[in-house]
Amino acid sequence: MTSKLSRTQQIERQLGDWTRARLPYGVAELVMFTLKQGWAALFGALMLLGIILSSLVWQEQWSIARYDALLIYAISLQILFLMTGLETWDEARVILLFHLTGTAMEIFKVNAGSWAYPEASLMKLWGVPMFSGFMYASVGSYMARVIRLFDMRFSPYPPLWMSFALAGAIYINFFAHHFVTDIRLVLFVATVVIFARTRVWFRIAERHYWMPLPLAAFFSSFALWIAENVGTRTKTWLYNGQTAQELVSFSKLGSWYLLLYVSFVTVTLVAREAIRSSKPQP
């Protein structure tokens, strides 16, 4: 562990001690849970902040397009996270995989007419601005960081082949449902059947808590749905037939719920210590 990470843990511990000394125990635990969640989602939060601020100030006559500026901003954030130890190189490699698979899906979906990026951009690939891959990467960044920050364990965990088969089926269905029957209802059931017994164990200070993994995925999908509304409200992207004043369809909650399983299984490539076949001993 690098000195930067050790310093981060020291700050977190000092903040926790300060909070627990001034608030009732239950309230202090909730506050620390919220703060650690926000810290884990830092990359995504900074990306959303960049999207919001750029939408407010950007002028069409400026020499650089907003999408291209967001790409430079996203690359700078990624470099900063690596230089400061906020992300490890192992995590960065998995996040790169998120970027590539996310960009591939964006290209397909945009050209299939599911959604569009209305603004001009020099760094566009088949209608998809290159910064968009970092929005998927921010999901990977959050998942990798939240597992580390909360010392998460997932147990009992299903057989690895089963989890990878589910993730593969979900990813393929995002493409295939344009041509054949959409099997997302089957996939919803499969996520519950396969992960029904899996608990997400997480630690706040010295105490461990747990939550069913499907419930954790649902809560996370709701947070991503809110983030999507930020994107559409700022006209950064728009779904087919949607105006900037309309909320993103609640059906997208289901899409994000399924995609989170793809993200989670991908992150386990570098977080194998978090997978346990039996209940951890807090």
More confident residue, 94 or 259: 259
Q: Is 165 exposed, middle or buried (0-12, 13-18, 19+ CB in 10 A)?
A: middle
More confident residue, 90 or 143: 143
Quick one: DSSP state of residue 72?
H
Asked if the model's pLDDT at residue 5 lies above 90, the reply is no
Please tell me the distance from the alpha carbon of residue 80 to that of residue 74, in angstroms, as a whole number. Answer: 10
Domain regions of the chain by residue span: 41-274
Contacts of 230 by beta carbon, 8 Å cutoff, 6+ apart: 48, 51, 52
Quick one: DSSP state of residue 205?
T
Quick one: DSSP state of residue 197?
T
Asked if the model's pLDDT at residue 192 lies above 60, the reply is yes
- The strand pairing partners of 203, in sequence order, are 208
Asked if the model's pLDDT at residue 101 lies above 50, the reply is yes
Of 133, 142, 87, residue with least CA distance to 106: 133
The pTM assigned to this predicted structure is 0.84
Give pLDDT tens digits for 129-142.
999 888 888 888 88
Q: Is 40 exposed, middle or buried (0-12, 13-18, 19+ CB in 10 A)?
A: buried
More confident residue, 280 or 167: 167
Strand 238-239 relative to strand 115-116, pairing: antiparallel
| 233-238 long-range contacts, CB within 8 A, separation 24+ | 234/51, 234/52, 234/55, 235/55, 235/118, 235/119, 236/51, 236/55, 236/117, 236/119, 237/115, 237/116, 237/117, 237/118, 237/132, 238/115, 238/116, 238/118
Q: Which of 36-40, 96-100, 158-162, 203-207 is the least confident region?
A: 203-207
Give pLDDT tens digits for 8-54.
566 666 777 777 777 787 787 888 888 888 888 889 999 999 999 99
- Quote the pLDDT of residue 46: 93
What are the backbone dihedrals phi and psi of residue 115, each rounded to the nearest 5 degrees, phi first? -155, 175
Q: Find the mean pLDDT for residues 54-82.
A: 91
Beta-carbon count within 10 A of 209 CB? 14
